[in-house]
Amino acid sequence: MSGPRPLPPGFAVGHWTAAEARTGCTVILPPAGARAGVDVRGGGPGTRETEIIGPLANPEEATAVLFTGGSAHGLAAADGVMRWCEEHGRGYSTPAGLVPLVPAAVIFDLTVGSEALRPGPEEGFAACEAAHEGAPERGSLGAARGAAVAKMRGREHASPGGVGYSATRTAEGETVAALAVVNATGDVLGSEGGLLAGPRGDDGRMLRSIELLAEATGPPKWSEDADRQGTTLVCVMTDAGLDKPSTAKVARMASAGVARAIDPVFTPFDGDVVFCLASGEPDPSPWQTMQIGSLAASAVAEAIRDGVRQAAKAP
């Protein structure tokens, strides 16, 4: 089989990219009624409406999930996603009509972007228009257009980050997929623990951030710079029959995949967030949650690695 497995049935992913301004946004559109959960691990998250999919909130569904550049400015793109969803009859049913629920999360890309062009409502709408089923586009595009990883020596010594994707299936044919926007402060590690991306030394050699931290005698120069800002955003998508509490548990388990692929991770400079969307008819069980969560963690780690590999191919 060539290329990655497709998204679960009914899921679609779309990107809007400002190539020269080095920013963009990415939208995930699940089937109607998909349950949603979230796990926030990073010390500096930028989010919108994550509370509505918390385990104690009344709504069970998310109409869409938005990942965006532009830091907090980019959260305005969610307005365009809401408009697109409303125009297409998607949203949470209320006595006054449909209200699209669009949780969103941001990465910090302002130091490479343009103040004149940041993701806003029109750009969020355009990402929805571009959404399609099948395997999503990956690389230096969408919300990851301005992404970089391994920033322990500042952005000038970092490596490009990107959108990555990975998917697998259970023996019963359920798809477990992960889409990642990789913009981490830390290094990206391969499946055997070797470096895929680390900060470059003055000689161009790839270094390990954990070793730089161990040798440091005080805060380095980069700790005073805005370039330190990182974040990895992930959305797990499955057609398994998880209920809403189970999606939160799977999102939490899937965060282990972020820790397998990034070191250091969940730092004060990262806003790491993992979402989980499930579209199957709810039939929850602890066994199913363990199975889907375990596969999700593996898919997340591979999606992060894929994001760095795909970004390295970009001009």
What's the pLDDT score for residue 292? Answer: 98
- DSSP assignments along 252-299, one per residue: HHHHHHHHHHEES-S-TTB--EEEEEE-SPP---HHHHHHHHHHHHHH
Confirm if 56 and 13 have CB atoms less than 8 A apart. no
**Domains defined along the chain, listed by start:** 12-312 (3.60.70.12)
> Backbone phi, then psi, for 80, in 5-degree steps?
-70, -35
Helix (H) or strand (E) holding 211: helix 209-215
For residues 277 and 37, give the distance between their C-alpha atoms in angstroms, rounded to a whole number: 7
For residues 277 and 251, give the distance between their C-alpha atoms in angstroms, rounded to a whole number: 9
Over range 187-213, report the average pLDDT. Answer: 95
pLDDT at 229 over 90: no
What's the pLDDT score for residue 227? Answer: 56
The helix/strand/coil state of 156 is: helix
Residue 69 token pair: 């550049």
Which residues have C-beta within 8 Å of that of residue 87, sequence separation ≥ 6? Answer: none
Of 22, 122, 13, whose CA–CA distance to 66 is shortest? 13
pLDDT per residue over 17-69, tens digit each? Answer: 999 999 999 999 999 999 999 999 999 999 999 999 998 899 999 999 999 99
157: exposed, middle or buried (Cβ count in 10 Å: 0-12, 13-18, 19+): buried
Whether the ω angle into residue 264 lies within 30 degrees of 0, i.e. cis, is: yes
pTM of structure: 0.96
Residue 160 token pair: 């490009």
Q: What burial letters (b/e) apply to 178-193, b meaning 16+ CB within 10 Å?
A: bbbbbbbbbbbbeeee
Average pLDDT of the residues of the chain: 94
pLDDT at 120 over 60: yes
Over range 81-107, report the average pLDDT. Answer: 96
What's the pLDDT score for residue 115? Answer: 82
What's the pLDDT score for residue 1? Answer: 45
For residues 247 and 97, give the distance between their C-alpha atoms in angstroms, rounded to a whole number: 26
For residues 235 and 248, give the distance between their C-alpha atoms in angstroms, rounded to a whole number: 12
Q: In degrees, to the nearest 5, what angle opens at C-alpha 73 toward C-alphas 15 and 119?
A: 25
pLDDT at 315 over 70: no
The helix/strand/coil state of 75 is: helix
pLDDT category of residue 105 using cuts at 50, 70 and 90: very high
Over range 231-246, report the average pLDDT. Answer: 97
pLDDT per residue over 158-197, tens digit each? Answer: 999 999 999 999 999 999 999 999 999 999 999 999 999 9
pLDDT-above-90 percentage for the chain? 89
* Alpha-carbon dihedral angle through residues 48, 51, 55, 59, given to the nearest 10 degrees: -90
What's the pLDDT score for residue 313? Answer: 87
pLDDT per residue over 10-22, tens digit each? Answer: 999 999 999 999 9
Over range 268-278, report the average pLDDT. Answer: 96
